[in-house]
């Protein structure tokens, strides 16, 4: 490796390097000043660092060369697709740190912010990976940090349970993924780079030898399915979402899901591209089951965080429709959907934390009277719920619109469209989902509660996070074009 | 020569699979750990057969040695060697064995029914490929980046282990008591 190549490589992974240094800085400060009250130092550092990283990514994305940058012997591939995911991760980190500032048990803890930052580094590696070894290392870095974070409040039994469950399910599916990857490694005669594997699969597909490959494909889909919380690999979701500290729930539900989709798309479109005809039906089925089950079970939830967990499973189903509609349109739709979903879900979980703090209960019925106690917070909840449901003029509407449009516009190699049924099912599902999202709004806006005249005070971190996300939801709901253009450009870069 | 190789492979494979099954069904955790040592050691021999002496040694020293000692320590320290007197989920073991046999049979059937596999003689691996020197070369050239990334992974795991096992400091304990008495 020449010096110039090394510099180019380091520049390509600069966002991850900055985050890594930030994480080490936070942990070190925590170490050298033991036992003292450090207040919001760590939170402020994390927010500042995430902001700097976001700016670096934007700068890099603007100056992105048209050809993808392959760095470190082809282990890492940086293109606009990766940059867009990195942007989502760093924004999610920023917002998660903002809503952690006033959460009991985590707010002044250096290790909490350190692990949060390290898991973002892992996500960056996942999205940028161009090699199955790199993919696995990135995935594990992300997951291990998140296991710790889910069980971070050790005094709380639900948090400990969440951490343990997440860890056991995660470790198990990660071995399944590893098994799939090793089979792929064997079937292709020792290839590890995405492009080389794809080339070998092309030859094998031409010889009709796809059955053993399908075994590897299914095992790998299990690993990715766990990450994005798709049915039937969703069992961990409700308990982990309910038990984890709320900022972590928000972070897992948006950033970890986005990272899962980043590898899902890259792997299935590029590496398994030659087997497209075989897997489309399989992933379409996964999408159909995921959104239907997620929505049906979400309707029966009484706990707000559990309801959001099932809602996030359903959202994964809609996103999988976009993956199924292979091609630019589908990928662009997924990217747009994910970007708006980051804002929406973080807002929803921030409101969940505020309501829980105020009433000491996570039940939906105890959110009654929120609109009179804190009109601003209730409005943020209104925006988040309507955006999740896909009501215009909020960003979630365009997300769903583009995904369904991609499914309807999809044509398979023989020129037929086999995905209209999926789009119809998706629309039916959104109608079902409307019921439980509106139920929450009914409770907060219509139902009366005792003590509803007591105004609710919220701290600055929550207010800033909610203001940002609501502004984003409304802005992208009205001016969807810039974000959609970016998504299209990023989708074109996948190939 | 080929026959001898196949005989050794078959015998070892049998030992490995039996030990792996015994590890799962043993009712004493120490026995389980010892069966795992057998699995690890026979895997080391497989690696030797594949001309990978370095991996074979690492397998013995790290897995069969260090990691298993840790396992045994933890099991004995916690006094967890005896599982509960009665099986809580007695139906699981026969079901698992039945399903495993079924999957293996199905796999064999599928393999026999699909297009016959070509037996390809791979070029014999160079003996230099599996040496410590060759692995070092590979780690610091092509695999440099994942190698470095693993160090981040290990750092995260280390911090996580500390976080998960930390004791409450005296100051925190005092604060907690003060809060409770208020």
Nearest CA among A131, A140, A115, A124 for reference residue A15: A124
pLDDT of residue A175: 95
* Tokens coding A363: 């039940």
User: What is the average per-residue pLDDT within A82-111?
Assistant: 90
Partner-chain contact A133 B110, CB within 8 Å: no
Q: Which two tokens stand for residue A200?
A: 């070998």
Report pLDDT for A309.
95
Looking at residues A4-25, what average pLDDT do you find? Answer: 92
Which residues 6+ apart lie within 8 Å of A196 measured at CB? A188
Distance CA A455, CA A377 (A): 11
Return d(Cα A312, Cα A316) in angstroms, integer. Answer: 6
CB B26 within 8 A of CB B35: yes
The yes-or-no verdict on residue B127 having pLDDT over 80 is no
Residue contact B141–A73, C-beta within 8 A: yes
Give the model's pLDDT for residue A38.
65
CA dist A97 and A112 (Å) reads 10
The predicted structure's pLDDT at residue A210: 77
Residue of B nearest to A155 (CA): B168
Confidence band, pLDDT 50/70/90 cuts, at residue B169: low
Are A362 and A356 within 8 A, CB to CB?
Answer: yes
Are B152 and A122 within 8 A, CB to CB? Answer: yes
Of residues A408 and B80, more confidence is placed in A408
- First-last CA distance in chain B: 81
Partner-chain contact A76 B145, CB within 8 Å: yes
Angle of CA points A67, A72, A73, to nearest 5°:
85
Choice among A460-474, B92-106, B126-140 with the minimum mean pLDDT: B126-140
| Residues A282-293, mean pLDDT to the nearest whole number | 93
Helix (H) or strand (E) holding A77: strand A76-78
Cβ–Cβ gap A148/B160 under 8 Å = yes
Predicted local confidence at residue A25, as pLDDT = 93
Both structure tokens of A147:
């296991």
Chain pair A-B, CB pairs under 8 angstroms? 73
Which is more confident, A338 or B174?
Answer: A338
Q: State the average pLDDT for chain B.
A: 81
pLDDT at B116 over 60: no
pLDDT of residue A416: 73
User: pLDDT category, B115, cuts 50, 70, 90?
Assistant: low
B155's CB contacts (< 8 A; 6+ apart) are A118
Least confident of A107-116, A236-245, B61-70, B166-175: B166-175
Mutate to test the interface with B, among A145, A190, A204 (most CBs of B within 10 A): A145
Confidence at residue B138, expressed as pLDDT on a 0 to 100 scale: 87
Determine the residue of chain A that is closest to B149 in CA distance.
A137
* Percent of chain B surpassing pLDDT 90: 24
* B156 CA: distance to closest CA in chain A (Å): 6
Handedness of CA B129, B134, B138, B141 (dihedral sign): negative
Residue of B nearest to A146 (CA): B160
Q: Is B160 in contact with A131 (Cβ distance < 8 A)?
A: no
**CB atoms B152 and A209 under 8 Å:** no
Domains observed in chain B:
1-83 (1.20.120.1200), 143-182 (no CATH)
Q: Which residues of B touch A34 (CB under 8 A)?
A: 169
ipTM of the complex: 0.90
Work out the average pLDDT over A272-294: 91
A447 sits in which H/E element: none
Rounded distance between C-alpha atoms, residue B172 and residue B181, angstroms: 14
Q: Look at residues A273, A280, A218, A286 and name the one whose alpha carbon lies nearest to residue A412.
A: A280
Domain ranges of chain A: 1-168+236-266, 275-495
Searching chain A, which residue's CA lies closest to the CA of residue B152?
A141
Contact B163 A141 (CB under 8 A): no
**pLDDT averaged over chain A?**
91
CA dist list (Å): A412 to A84, A212, A275, A279: 27, 24, 13, 12
Contact A131 B146 (CB under 8 A): yes
- Report CB contact under 8 Å: B163, A148: yes
In this predicted structure, the answer to whether residue A5 has a pLDDT above a threshold of 90 is no
Asked if pLDDT for residue A75 goes beyond 60, the answer is yes
Among B48, B9, B122, B131, which residue's Cα sits nearest to residue B1?
A: B9
Q: pLDDT tens for residues A136-167?
A: 999 999 999 999 999 998 888 899 999 999 99
The answer to whether the beta carbons of residues A294 and A311 sit under 8 Å apart is yes
Contact A118 B150 (CB under 8 A): no
Segment A399-414, tens digit of pLDDT = 999 999 999 888 877 7
Contacts of A1 in chain B (CB under 8 A): 141, 144
Task: Identify the band that residue B123 occupies on the pLDDT scale cut at 50, 70 and 90.
Answer: low
Strand partners, A303: A363
Q: Are A338 and A228 in contact (CB under 8 A)?
A: no
pLDDT tens sequence across A229-275: 998 899 999 999 999 999 999 999 999 999 999 999 999 999 998 88
**Which percentage of chain A shows pLDDT scores above 90?**
67
Query: Which residue, A474, A464, A470, A340, is CA-closest to A402?
Result: A340
- B54-71 residue pLDDT tens: 889 999 999 888 888 888
In 10 A of CB A134, how many CB atoms? 25
Whether the per-residue pLDDT at A366 is higher than 90: the answer is no
- Residue B130 — pLDDT band, cuts 50, 70, 90? confident
Considering chain B, what percentage of its residues have pLDDT values greater than 70? 77
pLDDT score at A225? 94
From CA A45, how far away is CA A479, in angstroms rounded? 32
- Tell me: the pLDDT tens digits for A367-395? 888 888 888 999 999 999 999 999 988 99
Give one DSSP letter per residue of A163-202, joined into a string: HHHHHHHHHHHHHHHHHHHHHHHHHTTS--BHHHHHHHHH
- Is the model more confident about A70 or about B172? A70
Using a CB-CB cut-off of 8 Å, the residues of chain A touching B150 are 137
Alpha carbon B154 to chain centroid, angstroms: 17
Q: Is A72 left (phi over 0), alpha (psi -120 to 50) or beta?
A: left
Of B110, B141, B160, the CB nearest to A144: B160
First to last CA, chain A: 26
In chain A, what residues touch B152 (CB-CB under 8 Å)? Answer: 20, 118, 121-122, 141
Q: Which residues of B touch A (CB under 8 A)?
A: 110, 114-115, 141-146, 149-150, 152-153, 155-157, 159-160, 162-164, 169, 171
Nearest chain B Cα distance for residue A160, angstroms: 10
DSSP assignment of A206-270 equals HTT--HHHHHHHHHHHHHHHHHHT-TTS-THHHHHHHHS-HHHHHHIIIIIHHHHHHHHHHIIII
Measure the CA–CA gap between B118 and A372, rounded to whole angstroms: 74
Higher-pLDDT residue of A376 and A212 is A376
């Amino acid at each position: 490796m020449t010096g110039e190549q090394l510099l180019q490589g380091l520049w390509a992974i600069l966002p991850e390097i900055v985050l890594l240094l930030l994480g080490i800085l936070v942990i070190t400060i925590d170490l050298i000043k033991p036992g003292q009250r450090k207040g919001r130092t760590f939170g402020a550092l994390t927010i500042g660092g995430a902001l700097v990283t976001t700016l670096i990514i934007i700068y890099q994305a603007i100056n992105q060369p048209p050809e993808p940058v392959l760095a470190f012997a082809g282990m890492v591939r940086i293109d606009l697709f990766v940059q867009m995911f990195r942007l989502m991760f760093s924004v999610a980190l920023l917002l998660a740190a903002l809503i952690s500032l006033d959460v009991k048990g985590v707010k002044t803890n250096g290790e909490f912010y350190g692990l949060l930052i390290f898991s973002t580094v892992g996500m960056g590696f996942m999205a940028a990976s161009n090699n199955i070894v790199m993919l696995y290392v990135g995935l594990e870095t992300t997951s291990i940090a998140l296991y710790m974070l889910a069980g971070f409040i050790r005094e709380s039994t639900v948090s400990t349970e969440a951490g343990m469950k997440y860890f056991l399910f995660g470790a198990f599916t990660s071995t399944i993924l590893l098994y799939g990857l090793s089979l792929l490694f064997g079937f292709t005669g020792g290839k590890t780079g995405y492009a080389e594997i794809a080339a070998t699969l092309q030859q094998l597909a031409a010889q009709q030898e796809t059955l053993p490959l399908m075994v590897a494909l299914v095992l790998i889909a299990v690993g990715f399915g766990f990450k994005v919380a798709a049915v039937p690999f969703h069992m961990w979701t409700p308990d982990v979402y309910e038990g984890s500290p709320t900022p972590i729930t928000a972070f897992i539900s948006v950033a970890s899901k986005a990272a899962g989709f980043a590898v899902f798309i890259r792997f299935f479109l590029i590496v398994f591209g030659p087997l497209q005809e075989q897997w489309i039906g399989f992933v379409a089925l996964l999408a159909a089951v995921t959104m239907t089950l997620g929505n049906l079970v979400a309707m029966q939830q009484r706990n707000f965080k559990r309801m959001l967990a099932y809602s996030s499973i359903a959202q994964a189903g809609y996103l999988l429709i976009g993956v199924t509609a292979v091609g630019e349109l589908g990928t662009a739709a997924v990217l747009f959907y994910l970007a708006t979903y980051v804002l929406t879900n973080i807002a929803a979980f921030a409101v969940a934390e505020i309501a829980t703090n105020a009433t000491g209960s996570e039940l939906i019925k105890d959110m009654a009277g929120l609109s009179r106690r804190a009109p601003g917070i209730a409005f943020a909840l209104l925006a988040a719920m309507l955006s999740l449901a896909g009501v215009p003029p909020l960003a979630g509407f365009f997300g769903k619109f583009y995904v369904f449009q991609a499914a309807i516009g999809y044509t398979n190699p023989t020129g037929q469209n086999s995905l209209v049924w999926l789009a119809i099912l998706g629309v039916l599902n959104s109608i079902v989902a409307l019921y439980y999202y509106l139920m929450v709004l009914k409770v907060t806006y219509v139902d009366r509660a005792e003590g509803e005249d007591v105004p609710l005070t919220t701290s600055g971190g929550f207010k800033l996070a909610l203001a940002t996300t609501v502004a984003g939801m409304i802005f992208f709901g009205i001016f969807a074009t810039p974000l959609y253009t970016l998504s299209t450009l990023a989708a074109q870069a996948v190939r | 020569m080929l026959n001898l190789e196949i005989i050794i492979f078959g015998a070892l494979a049998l030992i490995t699979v039996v030990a792996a099954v015994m590890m799962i069904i043993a009712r004493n955790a120490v026995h389980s750990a010892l069966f795992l040592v057998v699995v690890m050691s026979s895997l080391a021999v497989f690696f030797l057969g594949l001309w990978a002496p370095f991996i074979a040694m690492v397998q013995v020293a790290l897995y069969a040695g260090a990691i298993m000692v840790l396992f045994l320590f933890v099991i004995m320290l916690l006094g967890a060697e005896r599982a509960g007197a009665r099986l809580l989920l007695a139906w699981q073991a026969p079901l698992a064995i039945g399903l495993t046999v079924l999957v293996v049979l199905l796999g064999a059937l599928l393999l026999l029914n699909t297009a016959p596999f070509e037996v390809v003689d791979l070029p014999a691996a160079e003996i230099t490929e599996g040496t410590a020197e060759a692995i070092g070369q590979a780690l610091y050239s092509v695999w440099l980046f994942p190698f470095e990334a693993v160090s981040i992974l290990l750092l995260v795991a280390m911090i996580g282990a500390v976080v998960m096992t930390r004791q409450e400091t005296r100051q925190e304990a005092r604060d907690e008591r003060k809060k409770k008495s208020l």
